[in-house]
């Protein structure tokens, strides 16, 4: 506060520092000035408690240095890790993150997009399940894991190769009757390629393979029902399972354990995502790890890059297998 009890202004800073208003403006906008002048301005601003209104300045310049990240939720470790990595990269690039969650609801997704557009964000990064999402063409937009249209870059892990890698590892470890299980959205996405790659590798190597996918609305109970039907006289029909996500793998392991089916002795299981327990260097299951940090970095860099750059419609990043104790 200044002596009148009002918020200090740039004029107050200039007066206390003994410099011109133009010099103060240059310092606050990162324009080079002499070290002595810069020190005087910074000391005066600190003494007065003056803070630059970055948002107001951004509106005047038509750039708020704010990016919206729209995710289904931050309960799922995949989404929360993605939010964290996006926030870190944006901070490194001098931007702030505005986070919104949608609970997988298409109407909420559109409402979030409308809201952040009204807040004049400089771009949007989203995981969306709304094929009819309307985004202003003037706002840079990058999507993760789901193609939007040919003009919007999608960042994804190499799901097809990930499916092949899961099949390769299970076969290497002696499995002869393989199963893929997954819960799918009605909106096609890159994750659908996990089962395609898995099945293709099994067929190419003449290994028996079953693909069992259910829709979101059927949920985990339908998966459990299928698993129950695959147990006869305390023996499980399959000796290797590839689950579409680590979360599904953990639920499957728990269900089979309660049915006295031992993992990995009776059946080996591989998930997909590579989420570590409590952020520690430990996986809840053997897994195909997505490069989440690199996906976030790529999404941010593409979003903030030159608008005239010719980015491909799909950028696939490599995956890796990690042993989490649910394979032999």
Asked if residue 328 is part of any domain, the answer here is no
Do 165 and 271 fall within a single domain?
Answer: yes
Same domain, 152 and 297: yes
**What b/e string do you get for 195-228 counting C-beta neighbours within 10 Å, with b at 16 or more?**
bebbbbbbeeeebebbeeebeeeeeeebbeeebe
Task: Give the per-residue pLDDT at 150.
Answer: 75
pLDDT value for 209: 97
- In the chain, the number of structural domains is 3
Q: Are 173 and 249 found together in one domain?
A: yes
Q: Give the range of the structural domain holding residue 27, as residue numbers without chain letter.
A: 10-52
In a domain, 327, yes or no: no
Q: Is residue 261 part of a domain?
A: yes
**pTM above 0.85?**
no
- Closest to 101 measured CA to CA, from 83, 117, 84: 83
What is d(CA 211, CA 21) in angstroms, rounded to the nearest whole number?
69
For residue 87, give both structure tokens. 């926030």
Hey, what are 135's tokens? 């985004």
Residue 5 lies in a domain: no
Q: Are residues 186 and 282 in the same domain?
A: yes
> In the prediction, which pLDDT does 85 show?
97
45 and 193: one domain?
Answer: no
State whether 27 and 94 are in the same domain.
Answer: no
* Domain presence at residue 93: yes
Same domain assignment for residues 105 and 148: yes
Pair (245, 181) in one structural domain: yes
Q: Give the per-residue SS3 of the chain.
A: CCCCCCCCCHHHHHHHHCCCHHHHHHHHCCCCCCHHHHHHHHHHHHHHCCCCCHHHHHHHCCCCCEEEEEECCCCCHHHHHHHHHHHHHHHHCCCEEEEEECCCCHHHHHHHHHHHHHCCCCEEEECCCCCCCCCCCCCCEEEECCCCCCCCEEEEECHHHHHHHHHHHHHHCCCCEEEEEEEECCCCCHHHHHHHHHHHHHHHCCCEEEEEEEECCCHHHHHHHHHHHCEECCEECCCEEEECCHHHHHHHHHHHHHCCCCCCCCCEEEEEECCCHHHCCCCCCEEEECCHHHHHHHHHHHHHCCCCCCCCCEEEECCEEECCCCCC
If asked whether residues 270 and 168 sit together in one domain, one would say: yes
- Contact residues for 327 (Cβ-Cβ < 8 A; gap 6+): 169, 170, 173, 264, 268, 269, 270, 286
Residues 36 and 46 in one domain: yes
- Tell me: do 97 and 15 sit in the same domain: no
- Residues 164 and 273 placed together within one structural domain of the fold: yes
Low-confidence ranges of the chain (pLDDT < 50): none
The answer to whether position 323 is within a domain reads: no
Q: What is the pLDDT, as a whole number, of residue 53? A: 67
CATH number (domain holding residue 189)? 3.40.50.2300
């Amino acid at each position: 506060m200044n002596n009148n009890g009002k918020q200090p202004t740039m004029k107050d800073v200039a007066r206390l520092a003994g410099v011109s208003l133009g010099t103060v403006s240059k310092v606050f906008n990162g324009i080079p000035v002499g070290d002595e002048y810069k020190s005087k301005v910074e000391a005066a601003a600190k003494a007065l408690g003056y803070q630059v209104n970055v948002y107001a300045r951004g509106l005047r310049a038509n750039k708020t240095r704010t990016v919206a990240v729209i995710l289904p939720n931050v309960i799922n470790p995949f989404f929360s890790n993605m939010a964290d990595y996006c926030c870190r990269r944006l901070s490194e690039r001098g931007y702030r993150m505005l986070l919104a969650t949608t609970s997988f609801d298409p109407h909420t997704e559109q409402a979030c997009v409308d809201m952040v557009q009204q807040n004049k964000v400089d771009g949007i990064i989203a995981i969306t399940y709304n094929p009819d999402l309307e985004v202003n063409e003037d706002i840079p937009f990058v999507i993760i894991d789901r193609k939007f249209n040919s003009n919007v870059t999608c960042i994804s892990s190499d799901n097809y190769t990930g499916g092949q890698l899961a099949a390769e590892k299970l076969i290497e470890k002696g499995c002869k009757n393989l199963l893929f299980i997954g819960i799918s959205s009605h909106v096609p996405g890159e994750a659908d390629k996990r089962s395609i790659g898995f099945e293709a590798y099994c067929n190419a190597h003449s290994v028996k393979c079953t693909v069992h996918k259910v829709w979101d609305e059927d949920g985990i109970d339908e998966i459990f029902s299928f698993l129950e039907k695959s147990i006869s006289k305390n023996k499980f029909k399959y000796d290797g399972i590839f689950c579409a996500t680590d979360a599904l793998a953990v639920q499957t392991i728990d269900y089979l354990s309660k049915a006295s089916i031992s993992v990995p002795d009776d059946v080996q299981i591989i998930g997909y995502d590579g989420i570590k327990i409590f952020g520690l260097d430990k996986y809840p299951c053997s897994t195909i790890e997505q490069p989440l940090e690199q996906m976030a970095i790529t999404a941010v860099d593409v979003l903030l890059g030159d608008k005239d750059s010719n980015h491909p419609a799909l950028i696939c990043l490599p995956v890796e297998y990690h042993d989490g104790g649910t394979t032999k």
